[in-house]
Structure 1
Amino acid sequence: MSLDGKVAIVTGSGRGLGLAYAQELARQGASVVINDVDEATAAEAVASITSTGGKAVAVVAPVGPTETAKQLVQTAVDSYGRLDILVTNAGVLRDTVLWKMSDEDFDTVINVHLRGTFTTVREAATYMRENQIPGRIIAIGSPTGQRGNFGQTNYAAAKAGIVGMVRTWALELKKAGITANAVIPVAATAMTATVPYFAAAVEADEKGEPMPAFFRHDLGFGTAADVAGVIAYLASDAAASITGQAIGVGGDRIQVWTHPEAAVTEYHDGGWSYEALSTDGTVLTDNLQSIGEKFPPLPDELQRPAPGA
């Protein structure tokens, strides 16, 4: 097994995508520390791994505080003797438009996603460096962090920030042989289950049936298991040369997101004053970049009525 003898922490792994990541890491031979805020959910996740011969223990605590990060790393070391892999998946949503978003809505999402990723990676990386372990840091991003999404100021900020941190960590941890990558999953989740556009795909997934090819191929939208294989690969020794990357995965598709680069570069003697832009502002207006996700129309056979329609 590719991860035999490795030890992994997966935050937010009681259910959904996080659970799929933990289960795949265990299937590949890793011992896993499960994390969730609900004790019963965490216990069920552990049982789903141990019942098939895998190794797993749980830490029931919210990510964000440094104390939780320390507890996660200490549990891995106390239970299995080391730590090789960290997957930072824990997250919450507080969606609403900018003018209705409260301080609490913003702070809650930033604390769990952004601060939670920072504190757990800091603790794990410190342990790996001190013990000369060429570890693997895998942080979970989102298409929202790459392109924006209506009603998700807090989530977009957190996910964009995570990718920015990953690029910095790849530089800082390179000498220690520790890789840091971001994975951008596109899969059926509790969030996508509420979106009518994805209804046919979610419906098939819930029935245990293959998703229509339109979703898997054209949209790169699939199941949690489709993402989990990439997580396990990035956690392996085979991926030692891959670091600082943002990797999109969903359905039958995998992507390597480009780092932000200038789309257009032009010069104006003396600089770009207000007057210069007023006279020759086409450098901006003719080169506007797209924002948000744009989906093609659903084929007629995959359309479903909106809830309540």
Structure 2
Amino acid sequence: MDLSNKVAIVTGSGQGLGLAYARELARRGASVIVNDIRRETADAAVASITEAGGSAHAVVGAVGSTETAQALVDGAVERFGRLDVLVTNAGILRDRVLWKMTDDDFDEVINVHMRGTFTCVRAAAVRMREQGEGGRIICVGSPAGQRGNFGQTNYAGAKAGILGMVRTWAMELGRADITVNAVVPVAATSMTETVPFLKPYVEAMDNGDPLPPFARRELGFGGPEDAAGAVAFLAGDAAAGVTGQAVGVGGDRLALWSHPDMTVKAYHDGGWDAGTIADEWPSTFADHLESVGEELPEEATAR
């Protein structure tokens, strides 16, 4: 999986999952633009990559605005001469239940996750199309965006929206040989350390203890480095035919998420009014309702 002569941007890569992605891409030979809102964090990430023999450069800024997106692309081109890979990883949390969530809680998360993904992908797509040599765009989703999560109206909504954009961009950029995919990671980061059923596993990792097979396999939970291989794969030539997909990764588990689809259908001549729906619902639809939230193994819920 050789990424030599490739140039990548990884947003939110000063620490956590983003840093793991940046390090893995650099280890595979790519030159990497590291991004963080804090100069010292970005510089430390760059130093960790260069000290390991990789090539990296920092562009500091909060994603969301068109200006930051363009600065990232310009930084890649000015420093390394081109752009081949974009990973939109930057994110924040403002968790609150619906009736306590403020406008600012909602807007800040949507701005970073959803608008930040849009502006960065738009700027990268313009550059990649100008180069005329294809490209790889990898957006970061979440299980919360796939199934919902208590207290995360803003985050789940943004992550679900990102998947909708990924599928659309895969269609729009296909003729330019630019693939667009999402990774849906599950890993020990600042965004998962407060999840109750994951807490004992996060503590184990903090103590340097190995995770049990249940955590790594059934929960698909591990460290940030466990998710980095999927990003490197999607950035490389081996994934040239993969686009519009949501790839779940974490611990020892690799998965492919399905797209939303109709699961049950019925037909009624002349259309459906409330009464005919009420008549049909118990026999055709009632036994096929979808669940909400993560469907966790019994051992996890017992915690």
SS in 2 for 1:72: helix
Partner of 1:296: 297
- CA distance in 2: counterparts of 1:268 and 1:167, whole angstroms: 31
CA distance in 1, matches of 2:300, 2:181: 35
Is 1:284 the equivalent of 2:270? no
Measure, in 1, the Cα distance between the counterparts of 2:48 and 2:212: 28
Matched letter for residue 298 of structure 1: E
Q: Which runs of 5+ in 2 are unaligned?
A: none
Letter in 2 for 1:243: T
Match of 1:217 in 2: 217
Shift of 1:200: 2.8
Check conservation: 1:142, 1:185, Cα contact below 8 A.
Answer: yes
- Unmatched tracts of structure 1, length 5 or more: 304-309
Which residue number corresponds to residue 307 of structure 1?
none
Q: Structure 2 CA distance, aligned partners of 1:193 and 1:152?
A: 15
Compute the displacement of 1:68 (Å).
0.3
Instruction: Work out whether residues 197 and 300 of structure 2, in 8 Å CA contact, stay in contact via their aligned partners in 1.
Output: no
1:243 and 2:243 correspond: yes
1:81 aligns with 2:81: yes
Residues 1:237 and 1:102: Cα distance change in structure 2 (over 3 Å): same
Q: State TM-score, norm by structure 2.
A: 0.96
Once the two structures are TM-superposed, the CA of residue 124 in structure 1 deviates from its matched residue by 0.3
CA distance in 1, matches of 2:53, 2:273: 67
Instruction: Give the structure 2 partner of residue 139 of structure 1.
Output: 139
Scaled by the length of structure 1, the TM-score of the pair is: 0.95
Q: Deviations over 1:122-141 (max 9, x none)?
A: 00010000111210000000
1:12–1:34 CA contact under 8 A, matched in 2: yes
How many residues are treated as equivalent by the alignment? Answer: 302
What's 1:125 paired with?
125
| Map of 2:34 onto structure 1 | 34
**Shift in Å, 1:67:** 0.3
SS at match of 2:285: helix
SS at match of 1:194: coil
Residue of structure 2 equivalent to 1:94: 94
* Partner amino acid, structure 1, of 2:285: L
Identical-residue share of aligned pairs (%): 62
CA contact (8 A) 1:10 1:34 kept: yes
Contact 1:197 1:298 (C-alpha < 8 Å) held by counterparts: no
* CA-atom RMSD in angstroms: 1.5
Deviation at 1:198, TM superposition (A): 1.5
Kindly report structure 1 stretches of 4+ aligned residues shifted beyond 6 Å: none
Aligned: 1:114 with 2:114: yes
Structure 1 residues 299 and 152 mapped into 2: Cα distance closer, same or farther (>3 Å)? closer
Q: Distance in 1 between matches of 2:63 and 2:18?
A: 14
Q: How far 1:210 sits from its partner (Å)?
A: 2.3
1:121-172, Cα deviation, whole Å (9 max, x unpaired): 0000100001112100000000000000011111111000100000001001
| Offset at residue 6 of structure 1 (A) | 0.5
Report SS of the residue matched to 1:138. Answer: strand
Letter in 2 for 1:285: A
Alignment of 1:1-309 (within 5 A): 2-282=2-282, 283-298=284-299
